Amino acid sequence: MVTARRDLSSPVTRPLVRPHAPRVVFGVCSGLAARFEIDPFWFRLAFVGMALLLGKGVLLYLILTAVMPSQPATYPSAA
């Protein structure tokens, strides 16, 4: 399977927000994954690994939850 490669020299232009869906807890890993265009699994694995090995994963996750804005809700128009 051939996939298109992203040019790593160009800056990432996606906003860093916590999406409403798909979300497991607060949406931090989904937001980071959308921002950097990778699978959220890798961010979840990193946070669990940091929580188990260093004890800092939970603290970092909570800090990012407070710092990252939630994605604005979009409602369908009533037309």
Query: Domains in the chain: how many in total?
Result: 1
**Would you state the pLDDT for residue 3?**
57
Structural domain includes residue 8? no
Structural domain includes residue 75? no
Token pair 């409602």: residue: 75
Structural domain includes residue 10? no
Structural domain includes residue 23? no
Domain that holds residue 44: 28-67
Task: Give the integer Cα–Cα distance in Å for 73 and 48.
Answer: 28
Q: Are 66 and 18 in contact (CB under 8 A)?
A: no
Structural domain includes residue 36? yes
Task: Give the integer Cα–Cα distance in Å for 69 and 72.
Answer: 9
Structural domain includes residue 51? yes
pLDDT in tens, 27-78: 888 888 888 889 999 999 998 999 998 888 888 888 988 888 887 767 666 5
pTM of structure: 0.68
